[in-house]
Every structure is written in structure tokens, then in C-alpha cells.
Amino acid sequence: MIITQYVERNGLLHKVDVRVKLLFFSSIVVLSFTTTNPLINISLIFLLIVLSFLSNIAHEFLVKIKKFGMLVLFAGIIWLFLYRFSLFTKSQASSKVILTLGPLVVDEVGISYGILMPTRILVMLLSPLLFLMTTKVKEFIEGLLRLRVPYPVAFTLGLSTQMIYHLGDEYEKIKQSQISRGLDLETKNVFKSIKNHVPLLVPLTVRALEVSEKINIALNLKNFDFKRKPRLKKVRLKKVDYFFVLLSLLLISISLLNVGGVI
């Protein structure tokens, strides 16, 4: 019933200890957040793609990247023009204007935001994705337990990653059945578009409840006991693990330099 995103392969990331992987992918996200340099974000995306190749899941990974393509492009265009109105950006009085389209002004800072924000979004989406594609739910939960996360929390987190994926699937089907009854989701009118999403949200909520109910029943059938923590075997870190720890430390140092305003 639950469709996992996990791709069974004999690849590099599959071999890395879950805790190390958590550290590594967190440090990627942190760096992406702290840097204002679009080049760093582009390098991080490149790094993720290289890792997907080394893990033998490049094909599956690239297909997912393609799916986010439109969203990212859209974000890029928005930031290109609208960064000027953002509360988070610095004043840009000195920025060189490159192009003026009626009321819209494109300047140098705008362009760098137009690249920075979408690449940042991409890193934030792709990192957890690559993690989940190379980690079994069971490993994920065990990893969290080893990090002293309380069992119910670890368990819920592990399961919710699956729920999210499953619900994405459901959402697609719901969308298709309402379009089949003439619902227009491609309308240009924003207000109409929001209103037209109501027929999607109701069934989605119902399905979400049903799916969690089913999981609950399945767990009960298996005599699952939330209070009893499974016993964990001792695991030793391998060479790859140390390599990724070092890599993470490197990424974190760059973040720190960023925050300190050195770079």
C-alpha cells in the first residue's frame, strides 16, 4: 500500500551510515541557506547530481529534477522582478539597471536573486529527496533512534515521509478526476483558481485520514507497540562515513564563514 521512494541499488549513498547522511544533507541545506552566492548553490546542485550518479540512481533523480523545473523557473522570474519589494533584501539603490520593461525593472541584484532563490529552493527540495531515495524508512527510524530521538517521534517522522509521498500520488489522481468533470485548474484568474482548488482539498483530506487509518490498522495487526523501542545493533562507522563527515565539516565551515561575513 505504501509506495516508498527508496530506490534499491548498490550505490555510494546507500552505504553511508544514516546518521552521517543526516549530518551531510543538513549541512548542505544549511550552507544553501546561509550563502548569498548563487555559484555556491549551483555547485551544491552539481554535487547532488554527481552523488546521484555515484549512487546509481541518476536517472530516477534527474526525472524528479525535471518535475520541479517549472516551479523553479517560475520562482526565478518572480525574484528577478520582485526582490525589490522584499523585506529581506538589502537596499539596492546602487544596483546597475540592465533592462526596463514598463513598470518592471531588472537590475544586477535582481538577476543574482533570480538565480540565487530558485537554486536555493532546488537544493532544499533535492537534498531530502536524495536522502530518501537512498535510505530505507527502517534505517531512517533507526538512525534517529541512535541520535537519541524519542521512539514515537522517530517513528512518526519516518512514517510521515512516506505519507507525503503517498499523498502526492493521491493528489494527482484527485486532480485528474475533478478535471474529468470539467474543473478548470489552468485558469489565469487567480481568484477563480483558488476557488477551483476546493474540490481537490476535501477529497485529499478524506484520503489522508483514510491512509493514516489504514496504517494504524496495519500496525495494530502486526501487534505494533509504540512504547517498546526496538533493540539496536551496534554499528561501526566505515571509511565512506568518515569521508562524508569530513565533507560535512567542510560545508559547515563555509557556512560559518558566510555568516561571519568573511566570504
Partner 1 sequence: MDKEIIKVENLWFRYDSSWVLKDISLSIDEGEFVGIVGPTGSGKTTLVKHFNGLLKPTKGRVLINGYDTRKHKASFISRFVGYVSQNPDHQIFSQTVYEELAFGPKNFGIKDVERRVREVAKLFKLTGKLNSSPFSMSMGEKELLAIASILSFDPKVIILDEPTIGQDFVSYLELVKLLKKLNQRGKTIILISHNVDMLAECTNKIVAILNGRKLFEGSTDVFFEKKSVLKKLELPVPHKMKLVKTLRFKERLLDLDEILEWFRE
Cell digits for 71? 516551479
Instruction: Work out how close the CB of 67 gets to partner 1 at its nearest, in angstroms, rounded to a whole number.
Output: 9
For position 2 contacting partner 1 by CB under 8 A, the verdict is no
For position 28 contacting partner 1 by CB under 8 A, the verdict is no
For position 185 contacting partner 1 by CB under 8 A, the verdict is yes
Single-letter amino acid code for the residue at 148: R
Estimate the crossing angle of helix 239-259 against helix 18-34, to 10 degrees.
20
Q: Site map for partner 1, 142-181, x if CB under 8 A?
A: ----------------------------x--xx-xxxxxx
How many of the chain's residues bind partner 1 (CB under 8 A)? 23
For position 197 contacting partner 1 by CB under 8 A, the verdict is no
Cell digits for 143? 538512525
Binding span for partner 1 by CB under 8 A among 8-16, 73-81, 150-158, 199-207: 199-207
Q: What is the spatial distance between Cα 211 and Cα 154, in angstroms, rounded to a whole number? A: 19
For position 217 contacting partner 1 by CB under 8 A, the verdict is no
Q: What is the spatial distance between Cα 78 and Cα 143, in angstroms, rounded to a whole number? A: 39
For position 210 contacting partner 1 by CB under 8 A, the verdict is yes
The label of the residue with cell 543538513 reads 26
Q: What is the spatial distance between Cα 47 and Cα 181, in angstroms, rounded to a whole number? A: 44
Q: What is the spatial distance between Cα 219 and Cα 214, in angstroms, rounded to a whole number? A: 9
Interacting residue ranges for partner 1, rule: CB under 8 A? 59, 63, 170, 173-174, 176-186, 198-199, 202-203, 206-207, 210
